[in-house]
Structure 1
Amino acid sequence: MVHFDPAEPLAAQTFAELALELHDAPSVEDTVEAVLEFALQAVNCTHAGLTLSSRGRAEIGAVTDPAVESIHQWQIDTGDGPLITSLREQINIGTPDTRADERWPEWGSKIAEMGIASGLQVPLAVGDHTVGVLSLYSTEVDAFSNDDLAVAHILAWHASIAVAAARHQASMVQAIDARKLVGQAMGILMMKFDVDGDRAFAILKRYSQDNNRKLRDVAQEVVDTRKLPH
């Protein structure tokens, strides 16, 4: 974990250490948790959360406490609130006073009841593609200064790159695993029905299309049962 001294100004070295930690994180989950741990130390916030966007759908990546999870899930379910707006429009959204914000009155009332007085939403983007939103909250009204916003921007930029890289790596691993699984299933069919590789793959593909199932799932069943699916 990056060590941060609140008495000292944030230095380039601090963010360099964060970048290395995010790069070394083994998964998307570890990446977003590292981002939130750093945010709690480096920004004037008491709560934080990171929401990810996957194929047009928002999903909770990590939160620092149940209150944040609850208010984030409410916004995802209703499609309303500053988090969703930041995600859709790729813009920063500040809420100096949750009780006085008239843009999302129901959200403001709910989050104020949880003791959260102000918030800041910063999108995570790679080019024109939004990969998520970093949400920072405080129990104090008007808690976030321009310096906090600047730090949040830098943190969001590092997080954007790290999350995109972690997702790409995960996709590559899944693709490699799927190819291995299909190869194993083809080998079983080649031995069982005395066919060549092209014919074995055609059989798997046909079962996949006829039953509207992923090729990987059909291959997994063949490997598990040593026979074709019914």
Structure 2
Amino acid sequence: MSTPLPDASGPEQSLAGALADLARDLQREQVPGDVMAQSAASAVGLVPGAEDASISLVRARRHVLSAAATSDVARQFDASQGEFGEGPCLTAMYTELVVRTDDLAEDTRWPRLGARSDELGVRSMLCFQLFVHENTLGALNLLASKPAAFDEESEAVGAMVATHAAVALAGAQRFDHLRTALLNRDVIGQAKGILMERFKVDADQAFALLTRVSQDRNVKLHVLAAELTRTGSLDR
């Protein structure tokens, strides 16, 4: 007698399939902004209790930027955390990998933000640290309008979404840096060609001239090269 195959349509299998689809979709994205936007939207669809989501970036530990948000509420909440310099998102970035609050209005960890929670329409939050890179920190934030909207299942699913988002974002940032480097190399090459033709110098001499003007004007080399290819002048 053969053993029946396990049911592949249960909630665990459905979640696993959805997460696998998310991972594949994110890996296809090559622009960091698109990765963040898709991650935030997918988190709302996958994490139990989530109504809105955002991905926040903090640069130099001061400036909070809502890099992706599924609604104006999420965007305004990020702005409020930046205004007050406190909140579950910032705590997740600075000190804890995961932060959950069942009721912002009653949570004493962020009193100023909690006092505005009703006005913002946010009572529950679940935040995950995405990355810490040099002076930039990132977090995935999930929001809900009612208290105690998130539970252990929300944390488990949210952590998986955040992991996929962090991996895909790291890959997209590397691709973006590579693409920028290639574009910069091309525009510097074009600028060198202009100088070689104009002054009858070789490639090394043209590059030395670009470098000297870049230092004199305190302008990045690729910016100077782009100016030369656009205007035909170094404005020196």
Question: Same fold judged by TM-score > 0.5?
Answer: yes
The 5-angstrom pairing of residues 187-206 of structure 1 reads 187-206=193-212
Number of the residue aligned with 2:31: 27
Tell me which of 60, 70, 73 is aligned to 1:67. Answer: 73
In the alignment, the residues of structure 2 paired with residue 202 and residue 127 of structure 1 have an alpha-carbon distance, to the nearest angstrom, of 33
Give the number of aligned pairs.
226
The range that moved more, 199-208 or 104-113, is: 104-113
The higher relative CO (CA closer than 8 Å, separation ≥ 6) is in 2
Over aligned residues, Cα RMSD in angstroms?
Answer: 2.4
**SS class of match (1:21):** helix
The range that moved more, 184-193 or 60-69, is: 60-69
One-letter amino acid of the structure 1 residue matched with residue 117 of structure 2: I
Which protein shows a greater Rg? 2
1:223 to 1:61, Cα distance in 2 relative to 1, 3 A? same
Number of the residue aligned with 1:214: 220
Aligned partners of 1:126 and 1:161 also within 8 Å: no
Number of the residue aligned with 2:181: 175
In the alignment, the residues of structure 2 paired with residue 160 and residue 131 of structure 1 have an alpha-carbon distance, to the nearest angstrom, of 11
Q: Unpaired segments of 5 or more residues in structure 1?
A: none
1:197 to 1:99, Cα distance in 2 relative to 1, 3 A? same
Deviation string for 1:200-219 (max 9, x for gaps)?
00110111111111101110
In the alignment, the residues of structure 1 paired with residue 27 and residue 38 of structure 2 have an alpha-carbon distance, to the nearest angstrom, of 11
Give 1:55 deviation, angstroms.
6.6
Give 1:65 deviation, angstroms.
1.2
Number of the residue aligned with 2:6: none
In the alignment, the residues of structure 2 paired with residue 129 and residue 149 of structure 1 have an alpha-carbon distance, to the nearest angstrom, of 27
1:222 to 1:69, Cα distance in 2 relative to 1, 3 A? same
Tell me which of 139, 163, 169 is aligned to 1:163. Answer: 169
Tell me which of 38, 44, 49 is aligned to 1:40. Answer: 44
The range that moved more, 125-134 or 165-174, is: 125-134
In the alignment, the residues of structure 1 paired with residue 145 and residue 175 of structure 2 have an alpha-carbon distance, to the nearest angstrom, of 37
In the alignment, the residues of structure 1 paired with residue 152 and residue 134 of structure 2 have an alpha-carbon distance, to the nearest angstrom, of 24
**SS class of match (1:140):** coil
Deviating above 4 A after TM superposition, structure 1's stretches of 4 or more consecutive aligned residues are: 5-10, 53-58, 126-131
**Seq. identity, %:** 32
One-letter amino acid of the structure 2 residue matched with residue 200 of structure 1: A
